[in-house]
Structure 1
């Protein structure tokens, strides 16, 4: 797998949160972050392998799924703000709303392209570091399949009794930081509205490629 596919795979696993909620399982309020990630990872792999439409990259189905399920379990505002960087604080509430909408679509479209890569992979979670009282943690996992193991790490924060994902690391590259460097160039050239327009155009282009 090349780095682009690995970043796509990271975005794909981010949305395991949504697929995990398809099963009516009562989860303990004190679920540990590593147990949460293991459960979500197992659930997304099972969902992909069991659903022919998802395997074929049904983008409309994926978008509807994420719209209804992913937002309660991921701190998406924090992810978007971190990706946009300092300019987020200067953005109006309407601009922040548009940025979140377009960034979400970008990630959904990205991982939909990675679904075809999922085959015989399994997920292993590495031993959790830190104290049980920590509220900001790193969960390290490996994807094992036909090639070399792939490092995939998660940053999570505790909000109330729940853990929320706000960043992912693939082979040493943090997803949010990767987008931040891309977004900074657009903001410097054309401002926040320019970034929104660029994201909107990129999403339309991706949708066109998918439907062609």
Structure 2
């Protein structure tokens, strides 16, 4: 997969810190929310001395700090694992698989960001078509960089805390089978078939432990 394309995914799907005033305002509109999310993460990486040098652990901390307020990774995890399997798990298992998968995504995105840290990336957003009853929408974006021009799509759900990103299509809205949840579902299903949800948790934790080494 194109390295620059993965970087765009990184910008759109991560984050762990408290919601900023900008996020709180943007969350009322999915189009503004995606724009704010992208710009916040890019700015955060550029402002961090270690992340600017390509330090993947530092980049992961920036990604985590600056973006979870924009994302609903619990929804992402539940759909990727499978609602029936996830709901049947114990609360402790749900917590562990959620935290491990969230960290895996943050780490993966941070790695891609660290590899293209010097690129001059520009975004042009394609607003979602909203109605008064919209609760699940897709916001598109055209991403331009040196020698590259790509389409990306972000899927958002309306929650009691505003709009949240919970899936991303790294090939653009018109490529139906490239959504992240769809890409992870078969991997998770295979792990669960081998040893239940605990096997999936161990797999995710092992991948996270190898990050940055």
CA distance in 2, matches of 1:203, 1:148: 30
TM-score (norm 2): 0.82
Aligned to 1:107: 105
Runs of 5+ in structure 1 lacking a partner?
none
Residues 30 and 191 (structure 1 numbering): CA distance in 2 closer, same or farther, change over 3 Å? closer
CA distance in 2, matches of 1:199, 1:26: 29
Q: Per-residue deviation at 1:56?
A: 3.0
Aligned to 2:144: 144
TM-score (norm 1): 0.82
Aligned to 1:13: 12
- The SS at the match of 1:120 is coil
Q: Per-residue deviation at 1:50?
A: 3.0
Q: Per-residue deviation at 1:68?
A: 5.3
Q: Which moved more, 1:62-71 or 1:97-106?
A: 62-71
Aligned to 2:70: 73
Runs of 5+ in structure 2 lacking a partner?
none
Residues 50-69 of structure 1 aligned to structure 2 (within 5 Å): 50-65=47-62
Is residue 2:98 matched to residue 1:93? no
Deviation sequence 1:122-166 (CA, Å, 0-9, x none):
111113323144121111111111233222111111123611111
Aligned to 2:203: 198
CA distance in 1, matches of 2:56, 2:148: 29
CA distance in 2, matches of 1:51, 1:19: 18
Residues 4 and 67 (structure 1 numbering): CA distance in 2 closer, same or farther, change over 3 Å? closer
Q: Report the number of matched residues.
A: 205
CA distance in 2, matches of 1:186, 1:52: 38
Q: Per-residue deviation at 1:63?
A: 4.8
Q: Is the 8 A contact 1:7 1:170 kept in 2?
A: yes
CA distance in 2, matches of 1:16, 1:101: 12
